[in-house]
Amino acid sequence: MKSFLIGIAGGSGSGKTFLANKIFNTFKDDVLIIQQDSYYKDLSGLEFKKRALENFDHPNSIDIELLKTHINKLLNREPINRPTYSFSKHIRKDQIETLSPKPIIIVEGILILSFKELLNLFSLKIFINIDSDIRFIRRLKRDIKQRNRSPLDVCTQYLSSVRPMHKKFVIPSKSNSDIIVKNENDHKSIIKIIKRKLVKSS
């Protein structure tokens, strides 16, 4: 049986990872999660100061060719060597992680539904639509705690690139979705839809 490929998009802090983990906790070993953030282009050829000035919320920051190649390999039941990314240094780490295909594959990230070359690969496309103030607070807490960034850096990046790129690329990609999630109450419906589609495809 071909893997059931799910795309989860939405603004930064909208709850994409939370929903992906909810699906994972429901279907357990049948789920593989791929994060868009693992596929940032390697900027090791630039000085750190220049790397830090890059717009990481623009589609050009993503190595879409590698991501598409990896998705197709997984759909063809082939393993991939997924890159890992250092958010503090803005470069790819030396480590790679070998991942094998699973019956359910989730690809999540703010720009996932912005890439036309990926849209036809998905069996289900989900967009999470959450108020901007809630998303910003979540991002602020995450970046300070997990990515060792200062509140000033987070706010500066949000105003200079996150917010304008959200308006330019993320919001328009909502029209490419099959389902729009507005709150956590919609998660149960998502699980039911996945179960129905898996039964049909089996």
| Assigned domain for 194 exists | no
Domain at 80, CATH number = 3.40.50.300
| Assigned domain for 200 exists | no
| Assigned domain for 46 exists | yes
175 Cβ contact partners less than 8 Å away, ≥ 6 residues apart: none
| Assigned domain for 189 exists | no
| Assigned domain for 37 exists | yes
Residue 103: Cβ-neighbour burial (10 angstroms; 0-12, 13-18, 19+): middle
| Assigned domain for 197 exists | no
CA distance linking residue 179 with residue 192, whole number of Å? 13
> 115 lies in which domain range?
4-179
Per-residue pLDDT of the chain (202 residues; tens, 9 = 90+): 689 999 999 999 999 999 999 999 999 999 999 999 999 998 988 998 888 888 999 999 999 999 999 999 999 999 999 999 988 888 899 999 999 999 999 999 999 999 999 999 999 999 999 999 999 999 999 989 888 889 998 999 899 999 999 999 999 999 999 999 988 788 888 999 888 877 776 6
Distance, first Cα to last Cα, the chain: 7
| Assigned domain for 110 exists | yes
pTM recorded for the entire structure: 0.92
CA distance linking residue 169 with residue 97, whole number of Å? 29
Domain count of the fold of the chain:
1
| Assigned domain for 94 exists | yes
